[in-house]
Amino acid sequence: MPAANTVVGVSPEEQLPAGATTQEDTELRYLLLAAQREGARYMSGQLRALNLTPAQAEIILVLAQREPLTLAELGRLIVCESNSPSRIVDTLVKRGMVSRTPGQVDRRVVYLGLTEQGQELVPKLQEIDAAVDAAAAFRLSSDEKQVMIRGLRRMLDGTVSGAALATRFHG
Amino acid sequence: MPAANTVVGVSPEEQLPAGATTQEDTELRYLLLAAQREGARYMSGQLRALNLTPAQAEIILVLAQREPLTLAELGRLIVCESNSPSRIVDTLVKRGMVSRTPGQVDRRVVYLGLTEQGQELVPKLQEIDAAVDAAAAFRLSSDEKQVMIRGLRRMLDGTVSGAALATRFHG
DNA sequence: TGCTCATTAATGTCACGTCAGCAATGAGCG
DNA sequence: CGCTCATTGCTGACGTGACATTAATGAGCA
């Protein structure tokens, strides 16, 4: 398991001598940043009607697929809030979408699940997800998507986020 | 100029019927998020010794290349803080790295530049940038980078972030 | 000139993401 | 049992990022 402060698969000790870097690499980094920002902005817009944020939606959708989960387990499945996503879950509990049940055996843990109100949101969220997917990827060919997915997976190999997504989409 | 809430090149009116979406599209979105997060985390780590954040470093590097800039111009060149990045600049001014000069002709504007102390940081920041570039991209082949760059540019075509990066890297 | 409208920058509000630190609990081991 | 250590979840501090609103200024036009 890599340390928290690991990038993209490179532990601090094995960093490359930063020699072979071109401006394109920098542009690629900022393009990734920009794509993520614009995507998030759009997603936010779509979710505004439901009064949900992208992070909250991610949690609800993961719970819909894999509840019950402890807070730590959930943290290992989502990209957001790498540690324990207590606070985001907190808001969802306050709004009555997520339930928190103290563990019987291990009384440190809390089991999370969707309330009825939370479950009712799921179809809408899936719909929005699909719309955002379509908006984000419709300009890419199938081949391009494949290359990007493979490349990004490789970049993320050995990171916490990478592990989370591997479990989530292929675990 | 597209409206602020435009994604990835799709204005709200011309959205696709979200039909042809696969799980891969969703994975791609989350991979983009994860790559950006891990990259930012790493960058943060590298910058910690300088007591700077990635957003602050971006601003210093842009100013190094194109000062003087008004706040609005700067906002159009960076990916962060789409509106006027008053507050981030504020901290940099307080720490003595950026200077703010009221405009003589148009007294609404403020001209931003690097102080001597700010300029001294630039080489170090460029070094860090190169290191992060290397760490992020060294697992990708040249071809893969090309495909990703082209694809991302296309995704961002017509967005504010896309315009910012186009100006910055090819303007 | 006087009016209206656009632009620029600043600010308040909200929700995160990161980090560090903490309390409670559980597990391993003598 | 008693000690130590790891894990789980919570919380405070800090710095964004998004959005809306506002104040000041400039530009266009009758």
> Could you read off the pLDDT of B45-63 as tens digits, one per residue?
999 999 999 999 999 999 9
Strand order of the β-sheet with B110-114 is B69-70, B110-114, B98-102
Domains and CATH numbers, chain A: 28-139 (1.10.10.10), 141-171 (no CATH)
Confidence class of residue A115 from pLDDT cuts 50, 70 and 90? very high
Q: Which residue is nearest to nucleotide C27 (CA to C1')?
A: A106
For the stretch B94-123, pLDDT in tens is 999 999 999 889 999 999 999 999 999 999
Q: Is the CB of A36 under 7 A from strand D?
A: no
Q: What average pLDDT does this structure show over B11-18?
A: 43
CB B38 within 8 A of CB B77: no
Residues of chain A with Cβ-Cβ distance to B134 below 8 Å are 15-21, 25
Question: What are the pLDDT digits (tens) for A134-159?
Answer: 998 889 999 999 999 999 999 999 89
Query: pLDDT confidence of A65, banded at 50, 70, 90?
Result: very high
Q: How far apart, in Å, are the Cα atoms of B92 and each of A103, A106, B89, B95, B149?
A: 47, 48, 5, 5, 31
**Residue closest to sugar C1' of C17 by CA:** A81
> What CA–CA distance (Å, rounded) separates B139 from B152?
18
Q: What is the DSSP string of B56-108?
A: HHHHHHHHHHH-SEEHHHHHHH-SSSSS--HHHHHHHHHTTSEEEEE-SSSTT
- The answer to whether strand D lies under 7 Å from the CB of residue B141 is no
Tell me the average pLDDT across B33-45: 94
Instruction: Name the DSSP letter for residue A7.
Output: B
Position A109 scores a pLDDT of: 93
Confidence at residue A23, expressed as pLDDT on a 0 to 100 scale? 83
Which residue does chain A place closest to B154, by CA atoms?
A139
What's the pLDDT tens digit per position in B122-169?
Answer: 999 999 999 999 998 889 999 999 999 999 999 999 899 999 999 999
The full 3-state SS of A26-91, as one line of letters, equals HHHHHHHHHHHHHHHHHHHHHHHCCCCCHHHHHHHHHHHHHCCEEHHHHHHHCCCCCCCCHHHHHH
Question: CB B28 to CB A136 under 8 A?
Answer: yes
Instruction: Give the CA-to-C1' distance from B170 to C6 in angstroms.
Output: 29
Identify which has the larger pLDDT, A81 or A146: A146
Q: Does the C-beta of B84 come within 7 A of strand C?
A: yes
Best residue in A13, A22, A23, A27 for a mutation probing chain B (most B CBs within 10 Å): A27
